A and B are shown apart, each in its own frame.
Chain A
C-alpha cells in the first residue's frame, strides 16, 4: 500500500511540476491569467523553480516506490503523460491551472 501512495504522490508531483513549468511561459500565462506576463516576472520565476523542484521530488517519490531501474522508467513516462495532460488542459480548460499560480 505504501508503494501505491508513493506512486500517487509521484503522479501528483509530476503533474503540478509540468503545470508550474508551463504557466510562466508567456503564451500560457496569458491563456490562464488573462494578464500580460511581463507584469509578474518574480512570480513566474518562482513558479519555474517550483516546477523543477516538483519534478525532482517526483523522481524521489518514484525511487521510494520501486527499485531505481524501475523508478527511472516510471518517472520518465509520468513526465511524458503529465506534459500531455497539461498541454490539453491549456487548450481546453486553461482556467483550471489558475489555482497553481500561487505567489
Chain B
C-alpha cells in the first residue's frame, strides 16, 4: 500500500491525528485550565474568595459538619435498590442510613474544604462488598458553615472532568474515549517524529510570512517538537493514572475472589480491621492523632500538613483513622499514611517505605496531578498544554490548506467539513469556556440549580459556535478562508472582556483591587489571563482580516500558490 515506512507513518499521522485531534485538543485545553482549577473555583464562587486554609480541627469543626451531611438523593435513588436485598427486610429510609466512613480533603490552594460521608447499607445483598451511599459537602473551614451545594465549582467540577472524561459520564464512555485518544497520541508522536525530516535543522523555524500551509506546518512542528517530552509524558502518565480503569475493572469481575481475599490478607498484615466489629464504640480525639502523625512525619524529615483524613467504620469498636500528608513539597504523590485506632487513638500502623515500582508510579502520577506547590512549574505546564493545543490546531489548518484547492476543483466538501469542525473545536471551545464564565456572572447568585444552568450555557454556546462554523463554511469549498475563524475570535475577545468587567461589577473584585490594593492572585490571575486571551484574539482577527482580503485570488495566483507548496512542503 505504501512505498516506504515514512509514507505509511505519514498516512497514520494524518488520519489518526485528524480523528483523535478533535478529542485531544479538548483534553489539552481543559487540562491547561485545570492546572488552575482551584483558582477558577474562586472566580466562579465569590463567597469562597479567601486565603487557603490548613485542615481545621477535626473534633471542633469537621465532626459537627460531617454529622450534618445527609445521603445524596440521586445516589440513594440510583444505587440503594441495587445494594439492598429486599428478601432480608425493608429498605432503610434515606436519612436513617448509618454513617460508615468520613473523609475530608484539602490542598494548599483550597480556601474551602471538601468532605463526605459514606453511608452503610443495612441488609445488603453482598454484606462483604463496599456498600456505600455517598453524601458530600464543601465547608468554610474557618466557621464550619456549608457552602451552597447547587453552585458549580467551575474549575474543579467542570473544566477538570472535561479534561479526563469530556463530562460524558454515560457508561464512562468519556473516560474511555480520552484514554484511547491518549494511546493513539503516543503513536501520533512517534510517527510525527519519523515523518519530520528536519527535527534539528528546523528546531527554531517559524516563517509567518510564507503562505498559510507552510507557516502552519512550521508552527505544528515547532510546538510539537520543543514540547515533545511534555506531550509524551502527559499522555503516558495520564494512561498510567487511569491504567487500572482502562484494563477493565477485572478486580470486580473475573478476579473478584482474589481481590476480596487480598483485602482480608492485607488487613491481617497491617492490623487495620477489614470489617466492622458490630460493637458500638465512641471516637477518641482525632486532633490528638493528627498531632501525633505530624510529629512522626517531622521525625522522618517530612514535616507537613494533613491533606487527606479518613475515618473507617464510624462508631464501631473496629473504627480506625487514617491520616495522610498533603503532597505540596514534592512531585511524587506520597501520602505517608499513619493509621490510629478510632476508640483509643493508639497507633495501629504506619505505611512502610515504598518499593521502587511504587515510587516510580507515585512520581509519574504526581507529575501529572501536580499537587506540589510551585507556581513557575504550574505556568510552564499551562504553556506545555497550550503548545499542545497549537500543535493540534495547526495540524487541522495544515490538513485543510493542503487539500482545499484540490477539493475546490473536484467539487468535494471534505476540507470544508474538516475546517468547520476545526473552528468548532478550536475557537468554539474557547467560546464555550469563556461563555460559561460570563453566564456564571450574569445568572443571579441565588438561582436554584445555578450550576445546571451554567453547564447548559457551556454546551449551548458551544453548539451555537458549531452551527455558526458550518453555516459560514461555504468559502472553504472555493479554497478560501472560513470567515467563522475571524468572527469567533471576535466573540472570544468580547466574551473575555465581558467576563472581566462583569466580575468587577458583580463582586467588586476588579483588577485594581485584586492586583494592587487587596491582592488576591487567584482571581486576578483568571482576569488577567482572560484579558491576554482577548488581546491575542484581536491580533488574530486583524491577521485573518488581512489574509481574507489578500485572498480574493485571481485563478493564476491560486495556481502559483499550490505549486509553491508542492515544492516546499516536502512531506505529507
Contact = CB atoms under 8 A, between A and B. Distances in A.
A74 B374 CA distance: 9
Contact of B206 (A66, A67, A90): A90
Contacts of B374: 66, 70, 74
Given A77-B380, A91-B206, A69 B363 contact: yes
B367 A84 contact: no
Given A76-B230, A77-B380, A84-B226, A27 B205 contact: yes
B291 interface: no
A38 B387 CA distance: 34
B484 to A, nearest CB: 26
Interface in A45-103: 66-67, 69-70, 73-74, 76-81, 83-84, 86-88, 90-92
Interface string B164-202: 000000000000000000000000000000000000010
B330 A84 contact: no
Interface string A9-21: 0000000001000
Given A70-B374, A73-B377, A74-B377, A80 B229 contact: yes
A80 B383 contact: yes
Interface of A is mostly: helix
Nearest to A79: B226
Given A73-B331, A80-B226, A84-B222, A90 B204 contact: yes
A60 B203 CA distance: 24
Contacts, number: 72
A81 B332 contact: no
B223 interface: yes
B118 interface: no
Given A81-B383, A83-B226, A84-B222, A28 B204 contact: yes
A2 B206 CA distance: 36
Given A70-B377, A73-B367, A77-B377, A86 B330 contact: no
B490 interface: no
B207 A91 contact: yes
A37 B43 CA distance: 52
Given A22-B204, A70-B372, A84-B226, A77 B387 contact: no
Interface in B344-397: 363, 367, 372, 374, 376-377, 380-381, 383-384, 387
B208 interface: yes
Interface of B: 201, 203-208, 222-223, 226-227, 229-230, 329-332, 363, 367, 372, 374, 376-377, 380-381, 383-384, 387
Interface of A: 7, 18, 22, 25, 27-28, 66-67, 69-70, 73-74, 76-81, 83-84, 86-88, 90-92
26 contacts: A22-B204, A27-B205, A66-B374, A69-B330, A69-B331, A69-B332, A69-B363, A70-B372, A70-B377, A73-B331, A73-B377, A74-B376, A76-B229, A77-B377, A77-B384, A80-B227, A80-B230, A80-B380, A80-B384, A81-B380, A81-B383, A83-B222, A84-B223, A84-B227, A84-B383, A87-B222
